[in-house]
Structure 1
Amino acid sequence: MRAVVIGAGIVGLTTGLALRRAGVDVVLYEHAPEIRAAGAGLGLWANALAVYDDLGVGDRVRAIGKPSEMRFHNPAGEVLDTPGFDADDHRYLLVHRAKLNDLLADEVGRGNIRLSTGFREYEEHAGGVTVRLTDGGETEADLLVGADGAYSAVRAQLVPGTPAEEHRGHHAWRAVIRDTATEVLANRLVLGHNGCRGGYLKTHDGSVYWLVNQFQSPPLTGTRKEQALERARFLEQDGLPKVLSALIEETPEDVILHNQVMLVPPLPRWVSARVVLAGDSAHAMSPHITAGATLGIEDAALLGELLGATDDVPAALKTYEADRMPHYAHVAELSAAVEHAPTPEEFAQRYAAFSHWMITPEAARGSVRA
């Protein structure tokens, strides 16, 4: 069996690795001229780490990460309790996206990745799919995987009329900085006022990752640094050290990443006979649940499991769709419950409920593997 994967981000690379481990011949196409990552820090939850353990790279992934906990604080620095949930429901691994991408690219095999080559269109036919590329070439495969993100070109053909949509008023700012002069004694994730959330985390190599998010933001003005600082004041109580603001002040303007958060609307289908969507191309959600990569990694694992067990590609893809679509419908419900929590305390409680559900093996397996 031969598969073409469009997109060499974390989900595309994990899909390529899972399919190769299942005995499938895989080639990945990436429109960028190099393997790179949009964003900075990335949280991997226990269910994603279990996938990497199964793929034989779990120890290497842990070696480039720092064990962390998703515990929220108020602006006074007090931990918001989550009664009924234990430490495992808060633990995750913080890794740098670019380092994870490099690790996965090495495992997939750089020779199996074609850079500077994007997807143009596909044509399904009896027994396979023809994939046409932006360099004018084309290739034949038994399977095409669209792992090309929220702005997926594969999705645009498979499910026309479903472009990524703005999560109106939801913005995010973040950066990783090294050699900071600001003393960071502990990780802090703060739920503040005016729909703002943010904080800072120490990474495994001594760098610091800071982030700021806001729901229902007013129109943006000023530079990226000024925008982040304006929101940081809703996360820091007067009279206490303003560590987040100091970190933002230290960060060069060109290092700060800003995003209008984008979502993929619910889709009527994820597959055809020979084409399938995985990761953000199928279900890009708000980053306030910090689980997009973890959820996409599960997609990759299920594709590898199903396609490694049969030569009937259309049947495997239908099984995948029947598992994933209701799974993500429930994820969307839990995500909305967190977003619309009326208080910081309820936000923290609902977030713990989401992570508890997500890392429960029965939830991760879905209906197919339960």
Structure 2
Amino acid sequence: MPPVPPAAAVRAARPRRPLLRGVLRRAGVLLLVGGLLGGCSAAPARDAAERDVRAAVAAWAQRPPDRLAGIPLEGWAYEVGAVRRDGDRATAEARLDYRLAGYDTAPAGSVREVRLGRSGGRWRVTGEGPGPGAPQQLWDQGPVSAARGAHALVLGTGRDAGELSGIAAEADRAVAAAGAAWPRPWAGRVVVLVPGSTQGMAALLGRPAADYAGMAAVTTGSTGAAAGPADRIVVNPAGYAELSAAGRGVVLAHEATHVATRTATSARTPLWLSEGFADWAAYRAGATAPAGAAPALGRAVRRGELPAELPRNEAFAFGGDPEVLARAYEGAWLACRLIAQRWGEEALVGLYERAGREPLPGALEGVLGLDEAELTRAWQEALRREAAGVRPG
């Protein structure tokens, strides 16, 4: 693996997750039992057994599982929907609602399935896990340990304390790099999840493990939202372990930049700009040359395969051709690097902001004073110079 491979090692994934709100505070824990999963305001009449099942879930939910003892949780609540009973066994569909204290500005939600059994005339919870089709939570994979940095909370399962502390220190440096590149208000802190394997990472994200082969980390979060659960940077321990110290720093700085820029990012933002900006921020403080960080694109240009256009969104697709993916990330970084060098860093930041609010042609004209064709020609010329070993002015 190249020493600092942005295309192979980093990716941003931003799935939206369902959220809910608790209404009853008891023993410091929000507890909501009742209501339907679909949010209906009127609950149907329930027989005594169903009421007993719901009461058992309520009693059990007064404190989080022991495997979460080290996590700064608040607002832990289950909203119970449908209840299915089969003799002395029952299953309750529920939404879990919780916050990480000091990080989440709104509840993080998860669809769960609570299993119960009846013995001696009493219902008791016997287990709990993801609802049908829902991704796992980190604690589904085993006891969770925590490490804190000045600006980072790292949660892991199946990892030793020294490893988590090292990631917390690196995440602190990543937050500083992201803040230096993005001079706009943001939370200035990150949450990092470290599962035990690539398969564990995929289970947290609800995608096949093959999608994350060779990657070191991804970021989750809802783009454009002003308030919500803190973005989670999810580390692939296998990919992360293969990187050099410099490579790990670039990966986490890239992902921290996605966290910093999330509220300015929208469906309008082209991926070459969002991914290129994240790589530019990660490399910004170093002296990384394209020969080291953009080898695939450099080889292609020297073969006479100059890209005809800036990378399209589909070139960044999960599970795509690795060579196409590498060239897309490398080309995106070099485009943002060119803008910062020729028009200035503030112009690059301004272009990012405007491209999230309006079509790209207007943003380019308003900030750089040129159209996409002109930017593409400038980028192509820069690629030729870089491939020839000449730094563009």
TM-score by length of 2: 0.24
Q: Quick one: higher RCO (CA 8 Å, sep 6+), 1 or 2?
A: 1
Q: Which has the larger radius of gyration?
A: 2
Structure (1 or 2) with the greater strand fraction: 1
TM-score by length of 1: 0.25
